[in-house]
Structure 1
Amino acid sequence: MTPRLSRTTLAGVDLGGHADVRGPAVDPAGTTVGLVHLGLGAFHRAHQAVYTEDAAAAAGSSSWGILGVTQRSARVAEQLAPQDGLYGVLTKGTSETSLRVVGSLRDVAFPGTATGRVLATIAAPTTHVVTLTVTEKGYRRRGDGRPDLADPDLAADVAALTAELRGDVASDPARSPIGLLVRGLAQRHRADVGPITVVCCDNLADNGTVVESLVRDLLGSVPGAERLAAWVEASVAFPSTMVDRIVPATTPAHRDEAARLLGLDDEGLVVGEPFTQWVVEDRFAGPRPPWELAGATLTSDVAPFERAKLRVLNASHSTLAYLGALRGYATIAQAVADPDLEAVARALVDEDVLPTLAAPDGLDLTGYRDDVLARFANPNTGHTTVQVAMDGSAKLPQRLLGTVRDRIAAGAVPDAAAASIAAWMSYVHATTQTGLEVGGRRVTLDDPLADVLAEAAAGPVDGLTARLLAVRQVFGADLGQSTELHDAVRAHLRTLAPA
């Protein structure tokens, strides 16, 4: 039976025996906690935890260990606690594989049983940063972006915070990430141990501002929180970030491969592509890990990087998903391997996207385009066309239609972007009207506006462009009235939609 990864068993492994296997860059035994992370999923373990370990190693620091906090389930904590917080990152490129063991995660906790320990760690004078990856749903926001105080979990945390501010001892476990964060900030305020920085690492535009607004709004709803709110205003920073790394789901085959490489079983293994990017607004309230020493970009403005990612990576990803699915390709890697489809994605970026972008400092946009297409060609990312194609009515306005509007405002006809819109329209038509098979199975439209789109797609194909452009929830009032866009989309649609 293969022994399980831990500090003791790892010490018995000859890590010099394999060029593609390496151990922790820091000494786990000598590393103390200086950072709390909320949302101990695979992405954090393959991304920020790696940057933090490499930054600490580069600086020779032993004070940037992480307390990783799970969300609703204790499962990840139960996987990692017997391994002393150690886990592997299996990096899968198109043809190369490597494994590293990460040692920056020095403690794990499940709020259901360890809320007190988490709050105390946020309030510790040695803790300087709280990071979050809790997914967009985890923030419990209403449609207008404000905290959903009717959410029972958030309401329970507000009640616990209210009691704590009165001086009562609230032993209730935290039930929401934002509630846990605010209760931790309240305890730090009482302890009077200095400022702290909260770093959101979720895929939300202007994510630091989003979290800061939620914290402020939540405190504004709590009686007696005025002093705490003033302290947060003065002593807590909320920098924005942009994160990027594809982290596929870990499979039994991945675990078997890692066990063969390391000689140890790893229940906490995560998988990642070789590419990784982290852009962080350089706005901190106190000490921080020197993440720039690990390859992160520290900048005064994250927005240009977010814009480049949305318009280059996300827009071409969606384009390949729709075109690939229409040709029956099951994966994005298969789609981008088709020269015709790769040419459409490349034209989108070169002809319409790049003219709308100002290159952020240190980012070569044409090189970024090439990196993106190369990443899509990696079969180990596991992205399927149907998966990426879902929720198009919500994705297109963010990923593509800003480019379209900018090109029209500049007096140009966005022909390449029109080809992407036509691909989406053809996908909507095929999945709601004529039927579409991808990878041997019939596909239906997975979209929050599925009923609206199906109704618009019904009828003669010749009028499909006009009917779908008239869906204001997607295209607004302006694009539906653009004759140039209508004509360009209609011309491309003739080559995609059945007669």
Structure 2
Amino acid sequence: MSLPRLSDDTLAALPPTVARLAFDRADTRIGIVHLGVGAFHRAHQAVYIDDLLADDPDWAICGVSLRNPDVRDALRPQDGLYTLALLDGGPTLRVIGALREVLCAADERDAVLARLAYPDVRLVMLTVTEKGYCLSADGVDLAHPDIARDLATPASPSSAIGVIVAGLALRRAQGLPAYTVLSCDNLTDNGGRLRRAVLQYARQFDTGLADWIDAHATFPRSMVDSITPATDDALRADVDAALGLHDAWPVQREPYAQWVVEDAFCNGRPPLERVGVILSSDIAGWDRAKLRLLNGPHSALAYLGRLLELETVSDAMRHPALSAFVERLMREDIAPTLGAMDGFDAQAYIGAILERFRNPAIRHRLGQIAWDGSQKIPVRLLGTITDARAAGRSIDRLCLPVAAWMHFVRRQAQAGVALDDPMADRLASVGATMIVDARQDVTAILALDQVFDAVVNDARIGDALVRAYAVLGDATPADVERALAAV
């Protein structure tokens, strides 16, 4: 027998084990348009706004899919309601009601543009992934097919940049103030890059509009963090059983979430600080902290853990020697490389990350984290090594994960296993020549200038990598155990 659908009309039927809305949806007003209404937005920013609506009803969300109607078609019959499962061993279930409207720009463009020109809308947010911005090195990619098409018909856009500018053009024409545009994608300088792209795009067809946007709109930088596994049939079945109602598209995430936003809004802003959002002028510092204290140790767990024949992050954190090594790495080696930031407690942040890593409900596979090592190693680990070396501190422990990656490359290449990496062919070629001679192997892989250009001429770093590679021996599990005890 089919279940009734989750909706405004069936909310009262929810069992007491499911957290209900803390506000009356009829009292809320749409003040935010969000482009890219995928799982991460619905599990992250929309939850913060859901918390806020009980206190300030002016900031409900219109969620917009730019191309794919699937989310709209799943959630519109549910009045925009959906279930969030927090993966804390339970899981804990909560119905989210922040989405008051769900549109798809591909076949509802006029409705999307009308909503952007709605006077109550004061904030436009995005989670469209990096490729959704159609960026060039320092602006917008004018040759991108979506951008070229939108520039030919700017009043009928399909790209995120085109939609943002078309909405601002309507507001200017109607004498309405500009809205704030807030990128929530994890791009370095996300607000700055988005602003440059928007202005360059607008100048292609209306310099007056570009000048107006430059003078009146703002593009705050932000940083977001929460592990959000994809929705699967098991989650759908569990949620339906718990609700006694059918939810076509629940979402799930770890309990931890972080949102840091630059306080640079042009037309009022939601009181985000009331619901745990950190307002900061130093988004770059928070980005650096996440990159070094979360992403760097993730890579350390991935490469050392795979050499130990472990499968997931939580498996790695149950390995006594590896978990102790990673904690020392974070507290003693990485944290000292971070500058001071207002409101940032490095040791507390590390404690929260370690708790996240240990969560057995999140099956984050080490093999997946190991992908794209040639791209990740420079930004996640080499910058930290360079800063620690410049400060005169020991870099031996920091070099061990990099050496583990080198062994990982060697083992995969010599086993004939393809690497999932943009440099897979070059890495396989180098890995095939490695003979477990530390000086020779490290010298060969340091010649990959796309990875090691920043450190290849630093003899002290080179020597530390040779020592780390050597201490890992043949990189068998027993060798890695001994190496972890030695550093």
Report the TM-score when normalising by structure 1.
0.91
Q: Does 1:148 align with 2:110?
A: no
Residue 12 of structure 2: aligned partner: 11
Query: In 2, are the aligned partners of 1:199 and 1:238 still within 8 Å (CA)?
Result: yes
| Structure 2 Cα separation of the partners of residues 130 and 204 of structure 1 | 17
Pick the aligned partner of 1:31 from 28, 32, 37. Answer: 28
Structure 2: which 5+ runs fail to align?
476-487
C-alpha distance in 2 between matches for 1:301 and 1:26? 33
Question: 2:39 aligned with 1:63, yes or no?
Answer: no
In structure 2, distance between residues paired with 1:490 and 1:141? 39
Matched residues in 1 for 2:468 and 2:22: separation? 52
* Residue 233 (structure 1) aligns with: 214
Q: 2:161 aligns with which of 178, 197, 213?
A: 178
Deviation string for 1:44-63 (max 9, x for gaps)?
Answer: 00111111121221x3x222
Residue 50 of structure 1 is matched in structure 2 by 47
1:24-63: CA deviation from partner (whole Å, max 9, x where unpaired): 2222222221100000000100111111121221x3x222
Q: Which of these residues, 115, 124, 133, is aligned with residue 127 of structure 2?
A: 133
1:470 pairs, out of 418, 436, 447, with 447
2:78 corresponds in structure 1 to 83
Matched residue SS, 1:279: strand
Matching residue within 397, 420, 435 for 2:378: 397
Is there any run of 5+ residues in structure 1 with no aligned partner, and where? 165-171, 436-442
Pairwise CA distance, 1:379 = 2.4
Q: Secondary structure at the match of 2:93?
A: strand
Q: How many residues align?
A: 471
Q: What is the match of residue 422 of structure 2?
A: 448
Q: Aligned partners of 2:280, 2:78: CA distance in 1, in Å? A: 36
2:436 is aligned with 1:461? yes
> What is the aligned partner in structure 2 of residue 439 from structure 1?
none
Equivalent position SS for 1:382 = coil
Pair 1:196-2:197 in alignment? no
**1:113 is paired with a residue of what secondary structure?**
coil
Aligned-partner Cα distance in 2 for 1:431–1:473: 20
CA distance in 2, matches of 1:304, 1:48: 21
2:190 to 185, 207, 214: 207
**SS of corresponding position for 1:464:** helix
Q: Is residue 168–residue 178 contact of structure 2 (8 Å, CA) maintained in 1?
A: no
Evaluate the alpha carbon distance shift between residue 83 and residue 413 of structure 1 in structure 2; reply closer, same or farther with a 3 A threshold: same
1:112 lines up with 2:106 in the alignment: yes
- How far residue 22 of structure 1 moved from its aligned partner, in angstroms, is 1.0
Q: Distance in 2 between matches of 1:244 and 1:395?
A: 17
Structure 1 residue 370 and structure 2 residue 351: aligned?
yes
Alignment of 1:354 with 2:330, yes or no, is no
1:145 positional shift: 4.1
Q: Tell me if structure 2 keeps the 8 A contact 1:88–1:266.
A: yes
SS state of the match for residue 224, structure 2? strand
Output the CA distance in 1 between the equivalents of 2:12 and 2:174.
39
Whether 1:482 aligns to 2:455 is: no
- Does the CA contact (< 8 Å) of 2:85 and 2:251 recur in 1? yes
- Residue by residue over 1:318-339, the C-alpha shift from the partner in whole angstroms, topping out at 9 and shown as x without a partner, is 1101111222222111112111
Distance across 1 between alignment mates of 2:73 and 2:264: 35
Q: Distance in 2 between matches of 1:26 and 1:186?
A: 34
Percent of paired sites with the same residue: 45
**Once the 2 structures are TM-superposed, how far is the Cα of residue 12 of structure 1 from its aligned partner?**
3.0
One-letter amino acid of the structure 2 residue matched with residue 486 of structure 1: G
CA contact (8 A) 2:32 2:123 kept: yes
Separation in 2 of the partners of 1:429 and 1:470?
15
CA–CA separation in structure 2 for the residues paired with 1:126 and 1:497: 64
Task: Give the conservation status (yes or no) of the 8 Å contact 1:25–1:103.
Answer: no
Q: How far apart are residue 182 of structure 1 and its match?
A: 1.5
Name the SS for the 1:121 alignment partner: helix
Provide the residue aligned with 1:431 in structure 2: 412
| Structure 2 contact 185–224 (Cα < 8 Å) conserved | yes
**For residues 445 and 470 of structure 2, what CA distance do their matches in structure 1 show?**
15
Q: Which SS does the other structure have where 2:106 is aligned?
A: helix
TM-score norm. by structure 2 comes to 0.93
SS of 1:380 mapped into structure 2: coil
**Equivalent residues of 1:413, 1:485 under 8 A apart:** no
Matched residue, 2:294: 313
Q: Contact 1:55–1:294 at 8 Å: present in 2 too?
A: yes
Check the 8 A contact 1:91/1:274 in 2, yes or no: yes
What is the DSSP-based 3-state SS (H/G/I as helix, E as strand, rest coil) of the residue aligned with 2:304? Answer: helix
After TM superposition, the runs of 4+ consecutive aligned structure 1 residues lying more than 3 A away are none
The answer to whether the Cα contact below 8 Å between 1:80 and 1:87 also exists between their aligned partners in 2 is: yes
CA distance, structure 2, for counterparts of residue 218 and residue 181 of structure 1: 10
